[in-house]
Amino acid sequence: MKFIAYNVRDDEIPFIEKWGKDNQTEVSYTTTTLTQETIEEARGFDGISGLQTIDYSRSLFEDFKKLGIRYLSLRNVGTDNVDLQAAADNGVTVTNVPAYSPESIAEFAVTMALYLSRKVGYMQQQLRQKQQFHFSPDFMGRLMSEQTVGIVGTGRIGRHAIQLFEGLGAKVIAYDKYPVKNKFHYTNNLQELVAQSDIISIHMPATKDNYHEFNHETFEAMKDTALLINTARGSIVDTNDLIYALQSGEIAGAGIDTIENESADLQDSRSTKQVNNADVIKLSMMPNVLITPHSAFHTTRSVMNMVNISMNNLKDLYAGETVADIVK
C-alpha cells in the first residue's frame, strides 16, 4: 500500500510525513498539479491525494484507469471541478473532506466583513498614496450590530458564520434551498434576502444551477450600501458584473477570496510568479475591495485535517472499509 499526494504546499509536508510514519505507509508527494502530463509520477501507486482548482477531466480519469489507480482522495470540499461521471466510468472512487474546519472559513468571512464595514481599505489607500493619515467621511464605518447579514447557504460553514455574526450583534437572515427547520430565520427566496441585507456572505457549493447567481440583476437589487463576501466558489459570482457594480456604486464593497478561472499557480506555495490576472489586479486597486488568494481555509487546524482525512480515506478505501466521504 502506497500513496502519492499532488500539489502539496510546504505547510502540508510535516502533516503528510507524520501521517505516513504513524500509519507505517509509504507516502510520496509532489508540488506539481495533477494533469495528464504529470500523472505518470503516480505509476505504481495505489491512490492519489489531490488539491487543486483546475479540472480533473475525463481524459485524466482515463489515464487513472491505464495506470490501474482506483482512488482519488481530495483534500478539499468542492467537487465542481471533478468530472464525476468520468471517474465512475473509469472505475475511480472519489472522496473529499466535507468538513476540515468550517470555523476557519466562517471566521475569514467575518474578518472580511469587518474590514470592509470599517473602511480599512480607504485608510490603507490614503497612506499608500499620500503617506499621511487624516480623518475623512470616507472612513466612517458601521457597527456590525447595526447591520442585517444575509447568509446564503446554511451548511457547516454557513451555520458557523451565523453564530459569529450573531455574536457580534448583527441581525442574521438566511437562504438555503434545503433549510434547517426551526433553526434560523429564513427568507422565502434569494431575492428577498438580497433586498434586505447590508452584508451578504456566500457559503454554498458551486453547481450548474447557481452559476453566476450573483450577476448584474442581483447587484442592482442589492442596497447601494451593501457588501458582498464570497469565500465559497468563484463561479457563483459574475466577475465582470461585480467589477461594474463596484465601479458604478451599485454596491459598496466586496470581500473576494475566490474568483472565476483561478490558475494552478494560486495554490502553488513555491510560485514566485507575479499576478497577471487583469480582474484580480483591477479589484486589488479598489479601496472598497479585499481580495485574497483562496486562503479562507488556511489555518493550522484546517491543513492538518485536510491531510489526515484525505489520507485516511485512501487507506480505508484500499482496505475495503466503508468510507463516509465518497462523492457520488
- Phi/psi region, residue 298 (left: phi>0; alpha: psi -120 to 50; beta: rest), is beta
Which entry of 12, 294, 301, 321 is annotated as an active-site residue?
A: 294
Catalytic residue flag (residue 58): no
Nearest by Cα to 168 from 142, 186, 192:
142
Is residue 35 within 8 A of residue 60, CB to CB? The reply is yes
Q: Is 218 exposed, middle or buried (0-12, 13-18, 19+ CB in 10 A)?
A: buried
Residue 29: strand, helix, or coil: strand
- Cα–Cα distance measured from residue 260 to residue 7, given in angstroms and rounded to the nearest whole number: 20
Residue 197: strand, helix, or coil: coil
Half-sphere exposure of 71 (CA within 13 A, CB side): 29
Question: C-alpha cell of 71?
Answer: 482512488
Backbone φ and ψ of 216, nearest 5°: -55, -45
Which entry of 156, 160, 250, 262 is annotated as an active-site residue?
A: 262
Sort strands 148-152 and 47-50 into parallel, antiparallel or unpaired.
Answer: unpaired
Is residue 214 within 8 A of residue 164, CB to CB? The reply is no
| Total residues found in the chain within this entry | 328
Is residue 123 within 8 A of residue 139, CB to CB? The reply is yes
Which entry of 75, 156, 160, 233 is annotated as an active-site residue?
A: 233
Half-sphere exposure of 193 (CA within 13 A, CB side): 24
Catalytic residue flag (residue 294): yes
Is residue 74 within 8 A of residue 311, CB to CB? The reply is no
Is residue 169 within 8 A of residue 162, CB to CB? The reply is no
Query: CA 121 → CA 12, 106, 117, 276, 288, distances in Å?
Result: 31, 21, 10, 22, 6
Q: Which residues are catalytic?
A: 233, 262, 294
